[in-house]
Amino acid sequence: MSGNLFNAISAEFKTTAVEMKGWPKPDRPEIAFAGRSNVGKSSMINALCKRKKLVRVSNTPGRTRTLNFFDVTVEDKSGKRHEVRFCDLPGYGFAKASKADRADWGKMIESYVKGREGLRAMVCIVDAEVGPTPDDVDVIPWLIKAGRPVIVVATKVDRLPKHKRIPRLQEIEKKLEMGKGEAIGFSSTEGLNLDVLWARILGP
């Protein structure tokens, strides 16, 4: 084990799908990652899995247009292993996408969120530097209303001066009508709060 409380010991691509018939069998707890285009979902998944290229990181917003599934085994400090599946959802709010594409993506995501057996939680990613966008403000309450536990993560906090990080998290929580301390500040670059996020993902 490394110095971390949680250490990903294996991570591999499972499959990609655009509709229910392509989803893998729900044989392990599943965590989905959602956020606006180019918010850093791929970098976050790579950091959690301690892989540099498990998920392709693109500078082109809107490149992910499918549901991409990854099987991950993580070991905690006691040596217990946990098997989970990550689902990387298409980014929302991509201005250059056609209305038809947006509609198709919306249907795909809604079908997944409402119908996916074994979906334990949604990790909703907000850019700490930018703050919640109108899309974030719309999507996150919708996910909660759909009955899925939501973990809000403010990523790219390394771009903020350290004395501004906690106030920014508090601003995000207020705008999203969250409780104090619920949002997690995160940085793939610094490896900040990887253990905190893993603990929330795995639950009690």
Please name the residue that has the structure tokens 């292993």: 81
Cβ neighbours, 10 Å, residue 137: 13
Instruction: Map residue 204 onto helix, strand or coil.
Output: coil
Which amino acid is located at 23 in the chain? W
Residues 116-136: tens digit of each pLDDT: 999 999 999 999 999 999 989
User: What band does 101 get if pLDDT is binned at 50, 70 and 90?
Assistant: low
> Residue 59: what pLDDT?
45
Lowest mean pLDDT among 24-33, 105-114, 145-154: 105-114
Q: Which pLDDT belongs to residue 143?
A: 86
Which pLDDT value is given to residue 57?
Answer: 52
| Burial class of 184 by CB neighbour count within 10 A (0 to 12, 13 to 18, 19+) | buried
> What is the Cα–Cα distance from 8 to 10, expressed in whole angstroms?
6
Report the 10 Å Cβ neighbour count for 167: 10
Question: What is the per-residue pLDDT across 161-195, written as a single tens digit (0 to 9) for each?
Answer: 999 999 999 999 999 989 899 999 999 999 899 99
9, 73 Cβ separation under 8 angstroms: yes
Q: Is the pLDDT of residue 1 over 50?
A: no
Structure confidence at residue 61 (pLDDT): 43
Residue of higher predicted confidence among 105 and 133 = 133
**Tens digits of per-residue pLDDT, 43-88?**
999 999 988 778 765 444 444 578 999 999 999 999 999 999 999 9
* pLDDT > 70? residue 31: yes
Based on its alpha-carbon atoms, the radius of gyration of the chain, rounded to whole angstroms, reads 16
Higher pLDDT, 2 or 39: 39
Q: With beta carbons less than 8 A apart as the criterion, state whether 68 and 11 touch.
A: no
**Count of positions (residues) in the chain:** 204
**Average predicted confidence (pLDDT) for the chain:** 87
pTM: 0.89
Q: Would you give the DSSP letter of residue 203?
A: -
